[in-house]
Structure 1
């Protein structure tokens, strides 16, 4: 392990508060005028670390292209040391009384709240995220930490019924060991916390690997949790240069101390993670891509459905795994619904010349190019552009297309941007068929005034989460969160997280020795 000073910063990054808490500068005024230059470090056993020779890499602002963050480029060897540190901290952390772990997580929620405005500034620079989106992230993350704290008592021994006379059964649930969390950029605060909160509550230690798109945002989350009193080594943090991602992840999954892997991100990368984990027989929780579908039945409240559709499609520029990509509407009300959705979308339009509006920016110019390709393909194949489609740099207007149909890329591909397509169908049966005509199955919703009918439709949808008369973008930390089909497997949230991040041992006790069944 190497404490270090980044050569371009000229300030020590290995200062520590009493008790082993990490303390280092958050940012500095760079040579780029008013653009702050953040410094993001790996953290192993409570110390700031970097790869060999203090290697680093730069993350640039999505709108201006200016360097925002200079991040440590941890090597696979440093990643292995992070897992070593987590393994060394496991015996102490896993045997602490549950109320101590719970108290630490509740304190972490307070520390994260205190870091809100720092996170707003950092995520705004690294990701182009809107302030409202980041504050929403913090609120949800704090709720996740407090809910996870309630799980701490799930670890321990429980008596179980036994049908055998003179024999007692017990089920002993215990922490799995070291958990590897791989967090994405799009809901940077919420999903970094989700990757670590339940594992920590249940007595595991954790290595969190940052997204290459928001290393400072993720580091800020980790530091907030550490300030809540986590002992050194309980939560470790790895940043890596983009070109080293595969080697770093492979080293972490292969490490013998790592017993669980959780990944949130694209299905493409998730398949690679699953293969690595399977090679080492590591249990893996995957929350992957989605193709959020909203069904609007003929008796729905069209105003409410249009508002929910705009929220689901455009919140955080549609860069949410649960985002509404397709709206399947019964033909009888399709025209009236599209008129209302156009109004809702145009209320969210931004002044593109001034940069990103209240919804934030799209993550990269390449993403905008891909989104324009989806729009152009749909229009060329018969869809009608209702509103939007314009973009300047990474700022893009909310976009609605009508008459989307099978064969269009927009019908099949995950959008992950502020573009939504309306598909017209004859009836509810066809709506269900269209909704299920997808390789993905994460989130969906159904709007209808007849709740019995709406529930019946919801029950036929192949998705891990279905909301009736609500947006596809909704989460409750106490509920199981995850998908079907190519949207992954396993569940975060509630008691489902206990199943994911613990082991169960069946234990038996006899009053007398077992009878000899060998005929001796």
Structure 2
């Protein structure tokens, strides 16, 4: 698919601001140029932070919950108006399937409306500590928030931070991913169309490097950073934010195990895990990447998964027949191809994926890989691979299953497949992950909190707790005197 889209510029104080020399945005499925975008700079980042701080300090935004709710409802309406155009653009610029793009948009609209409702229910509490002595615990906006957005779900992973930040009363500076600038620009045009949103409350600065991100992390005027991305980058942000003691909301890498017991419904498990491991071509932090299988059923399970993976049709996201889209770019295609070779060296290849020939050769496509491995210390088991490459590991009993599930430093998500409710309860409690799905994988929605243990991050997004990282608690004390 080729199309021409408006140039993506920086959005500061309600104005579209030019940046550095334009760069092209390319369709990863065929290499065609979709449009252009202008990177920002440290100076533009500082300008955006200043406008966000001014809006926080001089407007009534932080103390106007009904206005915040109205603005979020307006944003949801604007997103709904452009949902078809946005879906096509996500397919073109991100490479994912059309159904995945539509799901991302509809989830984002739902999330925006969810936080619009919560904006009017930010509650504190009051207690009388002695006769006539009152303590009022007020919940107030934390201040100016920087949101750093990844490329793999550029609308959802923006909205799930932007929604609670705005609902809490914060003002915002966004740094979008350089791989998906046109998608982000269309969302920002929706933001620009919200009449209830004061100018300067939401700002955005593009980047093709680290200059803008470093400026936001180091800024004395940024109070909160909400980042979704790799654990390695999250650690650098945490270190960079330490001198200014910023609040951090970090959803980082994942290495989600799927534990399949001998009493599992194999048809259901294979169906769920094929979809969960190959959605977005495996480029999602909650993807099922490790299949931990009870030894008595390993052969049957592996044979079924291999057949399911072989049947997956890789192709352009706009093609209704495609079942898995492209990777984000050729650099990642090359990276995953190297991992496939490593899997053959360190484990046993059950199904070897690779770059297809023919009409798909121009795109960043790679077919699924399935391999077995025994060494949990291998980097293939320990590291987030971020592609359609999945390991099969076996276990003897519950104790070994839990030990292997917890064997990496990640703890974002996991799933358990068993028909024994007591076992499901035991294992879900024992696995150290922020989300554990039972007999399914990958169910995400606005009402349910997500987040990680250990190296998978800090804080929670989605749900009521998603507001917490953007709020401060203030204790106001009054001695009114006893009557």
Query: Contact (CA 8 Å) 1:338, 1:402: kept in 2 or not?
Result: no
Question: How far apart, CA to CA, are the structure 2 residues paired with 1:297 and 1:34?
Answer: 46
Question: How far apart, CA to CA, are the structure 2 residues paired with 1:368 and 1:420?
Answer: 16
Question: How far apart, CA to CA, are the structure 1 residues paired with 2:39 and 2:190?
Answer: 22
**Secondary structure of residue in 2 paired with 1:459:** helix
Partner of 2:147: 181
Query: Contact (CA 8 Å) 1:377, 1:409: kept in 2 or not?
Result: no
Question: How far apart, CA to CA, are the structure 1 residues paired with 2:13 and 2:139?
Answer: 27
- Please report the RMSD computed on the Cα atoms of aligned residues, expressed in angstroms: 2.2
Which of these residues, 219, 222, 225, is aligned with residue 185 of structure 2? 219
Partner of 2:338: 373
Structure 1 position 61 matched with structure 2 position 27: yes
Structure 1 position 394 matched with structure 2 position 364: yes
Query: Contact (CA 8 Å) 1:318, 1:418: kept in 2 or not?
Result: yes
**Secondary structure of residue in 1 paired with 2:446:** coil
1:68 to partner: Cα distance: 2.6
Change (3 A) 1:161 1:128: same
Partner of 2:161: 195
Question: How far apart, CA to CA, are the structure 2 residues paired with 1:337 and 1:483?
Answer: 29
**Secondary structure of residue in 1 paired with 2:183:** helix
**Secondary structure of residue in 1 paired with 2:155:** helix
Partner of 1:48: 16
1:437 to partner: Cα distance: 0.5
1:110 to partner: Cα distance: 1.9
Partner of 1:509: 478
Question: How far apart, CA to CA, are the structure 1 residues paired with 2:18 and 2:376?
Answer: 49
Partner of 2:304: 340
Which of these residues, 45, 53, 58, is aligned with residue 79 of structure 1? 45
Partner of 1:3: none
RCO (CA 8 Å, sep 6+): is it higher in 1 or 2? 2
Partner of 1:428: 398
Change (3 A) 1:442 1:122: same
Q: Can you list the C-alpha shifts for 1:381-400, whole angstroms capped at 9, x where unaligned?
A: 33132364454441122222
Question: What is the aligned residue count?
Answer: 473
Q: Which runs of 5+ in 2 are unaligned?
A: none
Structure 1 position 364 matched with structure 2 position 334: no
Partner of 2:432: 462
Query: Contact (CA 8 Å) 1:404, 1:410: kept in 2 or not?
Result: no
Partner of 2:204: 237
**Secondary structure of residue in 2 paired with 1:406:** coil
Query: Contact (CA 8 Å) 1:383, 1:404: kept in 2 or not?
Result: no
Query: Contact (CA 8 Å) 2:290, 2:392: kept in 1 or not?
Result: yes
Moved more, 444-453 or 59-68: 59-68
Give the ranges of 4+ consecutive aligned residues of structure 1 lying more than 6 Å apart after TM superposition: none
1:359 to partner: Cα distance: 1.9
Partner of 2:461: 492
**Secondary structure of residue in 2 paired with 1:174:** strand
Question: How far apart, CA to CA, are the structure 1 residues paired with 2:193 and 2:32?
Answer: 30
Query: Contact (CA 8 Å) 1:440, 1:484: kept in 2 or not?
Result: yes
1:512 to partner: Cα distance: 4.4
Structure 1 position 122 matched with structure 2 position 89: yes
1:35 to partner: Cα distance: 4.5
Question: How far apart, CA to CA, are the structure 2 residues paired with 1:147 and 1:37?
Answer: 30
TM-score, scaled relative to structure 2: 0.92
Structure ID, larger Rg = 1
1:320 to partner: Cα distance: 0.7
Question: How far apart, CA to CA, are the structure 2 residues paired with 1:465 and 1:122?
Answer: 30
